[in-house]
Chain A
């Protein structure tokens, strides 16, 4: 049985609807496998889809690569191919990050080894149940994404080990302890996490409490499917819509124009068979 669309295609189509004309979206460079699809591939494909449909002036940067020519995807994703990509500019690392800290990035795309109910992210240290800690990668620009971007979009597959009640270490600030705690901490440059795009549902953060809230369920997914895959109970509104499936035109663009070789969205979530069936 073949699904009419894959989970990644659904995530791309949905994310594209949240990207607007004249915004600058910042996508990172590193990672591989599923993590690459989540924080690099899906945002790039969604940005390109927005450019081709609803937001022709949506502007992208991949780290210091300003305005890459998205119709000329590199053959492979490595240092020499990515950094010789046709683009408006390839600027110095420090110049690039200056503009991020200043608040000139409108939307950042992020993920985390731990994500809590307030959208705080951890990629630095994880506590082990029996004591001791597991070291992860450090920080990269996750603190800038979460503190300085106009808004951040979190992309992750639902997993109770990832969606935890409270992160063990705050690498990137979300809504901290909820309510007005982010504003009280004096975080004034960026707008914080606004959207969480996962393999089974889309979330936002409830006004007031700033707790993660189900916004829509992917086709065929139940509230129980979602809650059982999380380490905390999200806010559950009374009437939850279904995530709008990709249109025939969106699917055609993704498959034929944007990513025909599946360089960007080739790694589907483990839950794909279930949620797309």
Chain B
């Protein structure tokens, strides 16, 4: 095993401009937001984002001008509605979107995870998605049935936010975590995997509960310790979404000029994650979001 513990800026340097970037999490939940802010600070551009059910992660990267294309089953903020930056960029024609249903986007990651070029699906017949670049008609060689092939989605790098890990990148979750995501599948699909976690723990503690590992060190290239790294989203079981900070984001995102000011204040000016947190929330509010403490 190799020591994979790196800093946030070292991790962000592993995401080059122009690459295909896989994103973990769902809607407001468990996105690697601190790493995304660092990627934006570096001036990374022209990313192709591949995710399952995208959220505040996708909207922030698009709003900061880092992405040229998104492939996903959804871009939105769950209970907070449409993703404002994605909507504006898509309507202006500055962002390409390729839409997939939930099962077909999973199939694309699964194909990459298995090292095969595509997966067949029955779901897209008759839909608008059937006409897209990464969807082609095929014939089942056994039955002759007409199906669609969806191309493998193989991110150059995929980034995730997890609960805790050892320095080797064995990422673990508490038994009560919400597994309504496909982080494990996306991690298998990607060529490189970076995971930010709330806490780095001793390897000796990880190995006593091996069934809690959902992304094992074999797949991981770098791991970063970032407490509250999913803020303003949530890390389920540990803390809730910060709806006050999300409200500030949404208000700013209505207007490009105001969003540029928001980016300066909350992404470009703070020199690190702690400085960001100090601007984005009071310690009391952060404490109030906590639902469980990792002793």
Contact = CB atoms under 8 A, between A and B. Distances in A.
Note whether A and B form a binding pair: yes
Interface of A: 29-32, 63-64, 77-80, 83-84, 90-94, 96-98, 100-101, 124-125, 132-144, 147-148, 169-173, 176, 182, 185-189
Contacts of B73: 138-141
A144 B240 contact: no
B53 A140 contact: yes
Contact of B72 (A90, A138, A141): A138
16 contacts: A79-B236, A94-B182, A97-B102, A136-B82, A138-B72, A138-B76, A139-B74, A143-B123, A144-B101, A144-B123, A147-B126, A148-B122, A148-B123, A171-B129, A173-B125, A182-B126
Interface of B: 26-29, 52-53, 72-76, 78-82, 86-87, 90-91, 97, 99-104, 106, 110, 121-129, 145-146, 176, 178-182, 184-185, 234, 236-237, 240-241, 291
A30 B125 contact: no
A173 B127 contact: yes
Contacts of A64: 179-180
Given A80-B291, A143-B101, A92 B180 contact: yes
Contacts of B72: 138
Contact of B145 (A32, A136, A186): A186
Contacts of A170: 126-128
Nearest to B289: A80
B103 A80 contact: no
Given A93-B180, A147-B123, A78 B79 contact: yes
Contacts of B181: 93
Contacts of B104: 143
Contacts of A140: 53, 73-74, 101-102
B290 to A, nearest CB: 11
A189 B178 contact: no
A94 B102 CA distance: 9
A186 B125 contact: yes
B70 to A, nearest CB: 9
Contacts of A186: 122, 125, 145-146
Contact of A63 (B29, B82, B128, B180): B180
Contacts of B122: 101, 147-148, 186-189
B79 to A, nearest CB: 4
Given A93-B102, A139-B129, A140-B73, 6 more contacts: A77-B79, A80-B236, A84-B176, A92-B179, A94-B185, A189-B122
A214 to B, nearest CB: 25
Contacts of B180: 29, 63-64, 83, 90, 92-93, 96
A176 B75 CA distance: 26
Contacts of B102: 93, 97, 139-141, 143-144
A138 B123 contact: no
B101 to A, nearest CB: 4
A135 B123 contact: no
A187 B99 contact: no
A135 B90 contact: yes
B63 to A, nearest CB: 14
A185 B103 contact: no
Nearest to B127: A170
B81 A32 contact: yes
A124 B127 CA distance: 11
Given A90-B180, A135-B90, A144-B101, A30 B78 contact: yes
A171 B179 contact: no
B196 to A, nearest CB: 19
A30 B73 CA distance: 13
Contacts of A143: 101-104, 123-124, 127, 129
A64 B53 CA distance: 14
B127 A171 contact: yes
A134 B88 CA distance: 9
Nearest to A121: B127
B106 A97 contact: yes
A142 B101 contact: yes
Nearest to A176: B126
Question: What 5 pairs across the A-B complex have the smallest Cβ distances?
Answer: A143-B101, A173-B126, A138-B74, A83-B178, A135-B90
